[in-house]
Amino acid sequence: MVQKHRKFIGLVLMMVVIGCMSQHKSALPADTRTFSKEAWKSEVLDSSAPVLVDFGADWCGPCHMMDPTIATLAKEYRVVKVNVDNNDLLASQYKISSIPALLIFKNGEIVERFTGVTDENSLRAALEKASSGE
């Protein structure tokens, strides 16, 4: 009997989470797109300024939790969002195995990498460090 209740409660919780995710409105403009090699090169790899690349997906709850933080940082730094469902080759190239994955690039190199929900202060410190050239 207890096992049946656990399964039912688990199913209900899953439905609530999925329902919340489908109602979620992103704090960011819809700037996720499929990148051509040329666009990726010009927007990320050729940048001498740090670029925060946010690898995520529409169905990813933790990715949506990062939206307000990413939106705040995007006011001061260059931010690119990459949907891993639309950019599977790019995600594979950078060995993205779980999302959200946040990579900071400078001069075509990854200078910092974060996986999972990450606080704004950690991301800001890494971006400032990359900006100062340390």
* pTM of the complete model: 0.75
Q: Do the domain assignments include residue 119?
A: yes
List active site positions: 60, 63
pLDDT at position 36 is 73
**CATH code for the domain of 107:** 3.40.30.10
What's the sign of the alpha-carbon dihedral 21, 25, 26, 32? positive
Give the other-Cβ count within 10 Å of 44's Cβ: 20
Q: Do the domain assignments include residue 116?
A: yes
Locate all alpha helices (DSSP H) within the chain, ordered by sequence.
2-23, 37-40, 61-74, 88-93, 120-132
Domain enclosing residue 54, as ranges: 25-132
pLDDT tens sequence across 96-105: 999 999 999 9
Paired residues of 53 in beta bridges: 80, 103
Q: Which position has the higher pLDDT, 11 or 109?
A: 109
Number of independent structural domains in the chain: 1
Question: How far apart (Å, rounded) are the C-alpha atoms in residues 37 and 49?
Answer: 19
Residue 14 DSSP code:
H
Both tokens of 32, joined, read 């996720």
Q: Do the domain assignments include residue 127?
A: yes
Q: Do the domain assignments include residue 17?
A: no
pLDDT at position 4 is 53
